[in-house]
Amino acid sequence: MASARVVIDDRLYAYLLSSQPPEHPELIRLRAVTGALPEARMQIAPEQGHLLAFLVRLTGATRVLEVGTFTGYSALAMALALPEGGRLVTCDQAEAWVDIGRPFWDRAGVAGKIEVMIRPAQPALDRLEREGPGGFDLMFVDADKRGYGGYYESGLRLVRRGGLIIFDNVFRRGRVADPAETGGDAASVREFNARIAGDERVDRVMLPIADGMTLAMRR
């Protein structure tokens, strides 16, 4: 049987969203506030929030690491899925963006689960490595794309065996498949995708969700 690919048009996308579990009210509100910002394109899609929460529960994660907080939607989605006593460490350079999300975390009752590190991603990861490797169950990366290779190597040391490392934007709006894109973020992500595909240290899969997501499970 030939493989079938479905184009997600507006009607089908609306159906997808309507068929998801109910979105937490604070997630809805935070997504709306973020959507009004000039940088709104950096916001993950609601179906990605559902997937991240599902993966937190599926893996039984109690310690989650996030690289790239933005306004805190993905952090909120994952923190809501963490069990009592769970902990999420998230890092971002822009405290003004993180501050947008803090009231929503408070109202959702998960602010106590979230620790924020305001610093560039790689130094933040280096600091966590010095504190001890292998302490996280799941890591979500949605930060500057040229740093993905370094974040991945740090993740392999910070995430336990059997834990997940998840990368967003691995399609770069389709530009990774364009051979004319020979520089910039698209080329960096294309190189990163090829690196993951050939890495036997992990089990991995690339998913066509939103702008592309790669899941890598540390062996």
Mind listing the domains of the chain with CATH numbers?
Answer: 10-218 (3.40.50.150)
pLDDT value at residue 21:
93
Cα 204 to Cα 41, 74, 90, 138, 149: the distances in Å are 26, 21, 23, 14, 15
Tracing tokens 């997808």 back to the chain, one arrives at: 16
Q: Could you tell me what percent of the chain has a pLDDT over 90?
A: 94
What are the φ and ψ backbone dihedral angles of 139, each rounded to 5 degrees?
-135, 130
Average pLDDT value over all residues in the chain: 96
pTM, two decimal places: 0.95
pLDDT value at residue 133:
81
Mean pLDDT of 172-183: 92
Q: How far apart are CA 55 and CA 122, in angstroms?
A: 24
59-118 per-position pLDDT tens digit:
999 999 999 999 999 999 999 999 999 999 999 999 999 999 999 999 999 999 999 999
**pLDDT at 49 > cutoff 60:** yes
Number of C-beta neighbours around residue 217 at 10 A: 15
Q: Could you tell me what percent of the chain has a pLDDT over 70?
A: 99
**pLDDT at 4 > cutoff 80:** no
- pLDDT tier at 199 (50, 70, 90 boundaries)? very high
Contact in structure between 203 and 217 (CB atoms under 8 Å): yes
**pLDDT at 210 > cutoff 90:** yes
pLDDT value at residue 83:
98
pLDDT value at residue 9:
95
Number of residues assigned to the chain = 219
**pLDDT at 1 > cutoff 60:** no
- pLDDT tier at 148 (50, 70, 90 boundaries)? very high
Beta-bridged to residue 164, according to DSSP, are: 138, 217
Contact in structure between 100 and 33 (CB atoms under 8 Å): yes
- Report the chain's terminal Cα–Cα distance, integer Å: 33
Cα 6 to Cα 2, 3, 177, 191, 197: the distances in Å are 13, 10, 18, 27, 24
Contact in structure between 47 and 19 (CB atoms under 8 Å): no
- For every residue of 84-136, DSSP letters joined together read TT-EEEEEES-HHHHHHHHHHHHHHT-GGGEEEEES-HHHHHHHHHHH-TT-E
Q: Identify the CA nearest to 152 among candidates 65, 32, 58, 57.
A: 65
pLDDT value at residue 132:
85
107-147 per-position pLDDT tens digit:
999 999 999 999 999 999 999 999 988 899 999 999 999 99
Mean pLDDT of 12-32: 97
- pLDDT tier at 2 (50, 70, 90 boundaries)? low
